[in-house]
C-alpha cells in the first residue's frame, strides 16, 4: 500500500512538475536592438495591401556561439543582422519576421526606434504606430525615438567609423552623459505621452550619411503629422524655450573675434502677464550659466565691464534666436512647440479653460517676450 502511494505521488510529481509552457532557450531568441519603420515606397509595393517596411537589427548570436564568445573576431558573417519586412500592419511585420527567421523575436531589449519621413507625414500610420507602441507590452518605454530625414532603414546601412554595431553607435549619440550639444533626445515614454496629449511635439531629427549619422535639428509634428523641420540653430533655441537645454556652445562676435561661451546649465521660466487687447501676454525668462571657452591671443577678459558686455552680446543672440524660432512656431507652423498650453493648464487652469478650444489661434496671437540672462561664471586659466 505504502509502495503504491509512493508510486502514485512520483507519477503525479512527474506529470505536474515537468514541462513548462513558456520555456524558450536563449539562442532561440532574436534580441531586437533597433527598430526602423517606414511607409512602403510606391515602387517597392508588390502586394497591394502592404503599407509598412519594418527593419530590425539584432546581434548574430549564432556567430557569437561559433566564435566561442569572441565578439566579431574571425570570419563568419556580420556581428549584427539587419532584416527588412513589408507588411500591412506592424504586428504582421513582427510575425513574418519571426516565422522567416525561425526564432522568437524579443523586443524587450530594443534601444532605438526610428521613423521614416514619409511615415511621419501620414497621420493614420503615425496614430497606428503610437497605439502599437503603447499597447504591446514587449516594447519598452525607455528606448530612444527619432525621425529620419529620408528612409529610416538607411540609418541601419550606415557603417560607423568607430563602433562595430549600429546600436552602440546610435545609443552613444543619444545618451545624456555625452554632452549632447545640439542633440535633442526623446524617449518612447515622452513620445507616447505627447502623442496622447494632442500630438503636437518636436522630435529629434536624424540624417544618415555613408559612415555617420547626424542627430541635429528637430522634426515638427502637429496633430500627429510631420509638417516641417527645425534647423540646427533653431532647434537649440527651441530647446532653451522648452526647458530641455542641457549644455552647448554659443559664439558671439566681440572685437572682431569670436568668443565661445560654453553653457553648462540653463533654466526657463514662463510668466503669464494677463491680457492685452484680447491677446495673452507671456514673458519667458531664460537663465543661462556657462564659461568662456575661447577667445583670441592678445585680448584680455579679466574685467567685469568686458564680461558684462559679452554677457549682453550673448543675451542679444539668444533673444534674437528665440524670437526667430517663436516666429516660426506662431506664424509659420501655427503650432505650440514650447509647451505654453501645458503651462497654462498647470498654473492658470481658469485661463486655460477659456482658451483651450481655440488654442491654435490664441497661441499665434499671443505676445511673447523672451528675456535672456546669461551669466559667465569662469573664464579659464588665463586673463
Partner 1 sequence: MLKDNDAISENQLMQVLILTIMGVGVVSLPREVAEIWGASGWMLVILGGLLALVQALIITALAKRFPDRTFPEYSVDIAGKFIGTAVALLIAVYFMLVTVFQARIIGDVIKLFLLFDTPIEVIIVTIMAVVLYLVRNGIEPITRVAVIILPLLVFGAFLLLIPAFSGADFSNLLPLVPDNIPAVFRGITTISFSFLGYESLLLLIPFTAKPKHLNKTVSKAMVIVMLIYLVICIIVFIEFGVAETKSLIWPLFSLMKAVEIPGAFVERLEGIFLSLWVFAVFSTMMMTYFCAYFILGKVIGLKQPRILAVPLFPVIYILAMIPRNVVVVYEYLGYFTKTFGTLVAGIIPVIFLILAVIRKKRDAHG
Rg over alpha carbons for the chain, rounded to the nearest Å, is 27
Task: Among 353, 365, 375, 378, indicate the residue that binds partner 1 (CB under 8 A).
Answer: 353
Single out the segment in contact with partner 1 by CB under 8 A; choices: 87-95, 160-168, 192-200, 315-323: 192-200
Q: Which lies closer to partner 1 via its Cβ, residue 155 or residue 186?
A: 186
Residue ranges of the alpha helices (H) in 49-164? 61-66, 90-101, 117-121, 123-135, 152-157
Q: Which lies closer to partner 1 via its Cβ, residue 229 or residue 345?
A: 345
Long-range contacts of 104-108 (CB under 8 A, 24+ apart): 104/24, 104/28, 104/29, 104/30, 105/29, 105/30, 105/32, 105/56, 106/29, 106/30, 106/31, 106/32, 106/138, 107/32, 107/35, 107/136, 107/138, 107/139, 107/140, 108/138, 108/139, 108/140
**Across the strands, what pairs with 154?**
none
Q: Which lies closer to partner 1 via its Cβ, residue 327 or residue 347?
A: 347
Q: What is the rounded distance in angstroms from the CA atom of residue 355 to the CA atom of residue 344?
A: 9
Task: Among 47, 197, 300, 365, indicate the residue that binds partner 1 (CB under 8 A).
Answer: 197
Q: Is 345 in the site for partner 1 (CB under 8 A)?
A: yes
Interface characters, 118-147, with partner 1 (x: CB under 8 A): ----------------x--x--xxx-----
CA angle centred on 213, ends 207 and 216, rounded to 5°: 55
Q: Which lies closer to partner 1 via its Cβ, residue 212 or residue 342?
A: 342
Q: Is 272 in the site for partner 1 (CB under 8 A)?
A: no
Q: What is the rounded distance in angstroms from the CA atom of residue 337 to the CA atom of residue 68?
A: 51
CB of 145 to partner 1, least distance (A): 14
Residues in the chain: 383
Task: Among 108, 124, 164, 276, indicate the residue that binds partner 1 (CB under 8 A).
Answer: 108
Q: What is the rounded distance in angstroms from the CA atom of residue 175 to the CA atom of residue 61?
A: 25
Q: C-alpha cell of 313?
A: 552680446
Q: Which lies closer to partner 1 via its Cβ, residue 106 or residue 333?
A: 106
CB of 9 to partner 1, least distance (A): 16
Task: Among 72, 150, 160, 189, indicate the residue that binds partner 1 (CB under 8 A).
Answer: 189
Task: Among 28, 159, 196, 320, indicate the residue that binds partner 1 (CB under 8 A).
Answer: 196
Which residue ranges make up the site for partner 1 (CB under 8 A)?
A: 20-22, 108, 134, 137, 140-142, 189, 192-193, 196-197, 345-347, 349-350, 353
Amino acid at each position: 500500500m505504502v509502495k503504491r502511494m509512493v508510486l502514485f505521488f512520483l507519477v503525479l510529481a512527474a506529470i505536474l512538475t515537468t514541462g513548462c509552457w513558456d520555456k524558450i532557450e536563449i539562442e532561440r531568441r532574436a534580441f531586437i536592438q533597433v527598430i526602423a519603420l517606414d511607409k512602403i515606397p510606391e515602387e517597392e509595393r508588390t502586394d497591394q495591401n502592404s503599407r509598412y517596411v519594418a527593419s530590425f537589427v539584432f546581434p548574430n548570436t549564432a556567430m557569437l556561439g561559433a566564435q566561442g564568445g569572441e565578439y566579431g573576431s574571425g570570419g563568419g558573417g556580420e556581428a549584427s543582422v539587419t532584416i527588412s519586412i513589408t507588411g500591412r500592419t506592424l504586428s504582421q511585420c513582427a510575425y513574418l519576421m519571426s516565422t522567416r527567421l525561425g526564432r522568437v523575436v524579443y523586443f524587450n531589449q530594443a534601444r532605438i526606434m526610428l521613423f521614416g519621413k514619409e511615415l511621419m507625414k501620414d497621420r493614420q500610420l503615425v496614430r497606428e504606430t503610437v497605439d502599437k507602441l503603447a499597447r504591446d507590452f514587449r516594447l519598452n518605454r525607455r528606448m530612444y525615438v527619432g525621425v529620419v530625414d529620408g528612409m529610416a532603414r538607411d540609418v541601419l546601412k550606415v557603417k560607423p567609423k568607430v563602433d562595430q554595431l549600429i546600436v552602440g553607435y546610435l545609443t552613444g549619440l543619444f545618451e545624456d552623459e555625452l554632452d549632447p550639444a545640439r542633440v535633442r533626445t526623446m524617449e518612447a515614454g515622452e513620445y507616447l505621452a505627447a502623442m496622447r496629449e494632442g500630438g503636437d511635439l518636436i522630435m529629434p531629427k536624424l540624417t544618415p550619411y555613408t559612415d555617420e549619422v547626424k542627430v541635429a535639428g528637430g522634426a515638427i509634428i502637429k496633430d500627429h503629422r510631420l509638417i516641417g523641420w527645425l534647423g540646427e540653430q533653431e532647434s537649440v533655441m527651441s530647446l532653451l524655450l522648452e526647458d530641455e537645454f542641457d549644455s552647448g556652445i554659443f559664439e558671439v562676435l566681440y572685437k572682431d573675434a569670436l568668443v565661445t561661451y560654453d553653457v553648462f546649465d540653463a533654466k526657463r521660466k514662463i510668466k503669464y502677464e494677463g491680457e492685452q487687447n484680447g491677446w495673452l501676454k507671456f514673458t519667458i525668462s531664460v537663465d543661462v550659466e556657462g564659461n568662456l571657452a575661447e577667445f583670441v591671443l592678445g585680448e584680455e577678459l579679466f574685467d567685469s565691464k568686458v564680461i558684462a558686455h559679452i554677457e549682453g552680446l550673448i543675451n542679444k543672440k539668444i533673444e534674437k534666436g528665440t524670437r526667430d524660432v517663436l516666429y516660426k512656431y506662431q506664424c509659420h507652423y501655427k503650432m505650440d512647440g514650447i509647451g505654453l498650453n501645458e503651462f497654462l493648464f498647470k498654473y492658470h487652469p481658469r485661463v486655460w479653460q477659456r482658451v483651450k478650444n481655440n488654442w491654435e489661434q490664441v497661441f499665434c496671437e499671443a505676445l511673447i517676450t523672451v528675456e535672456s540672462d546669461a551669466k559667465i561664471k569662469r573664464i579659464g586659466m588665463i586673463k
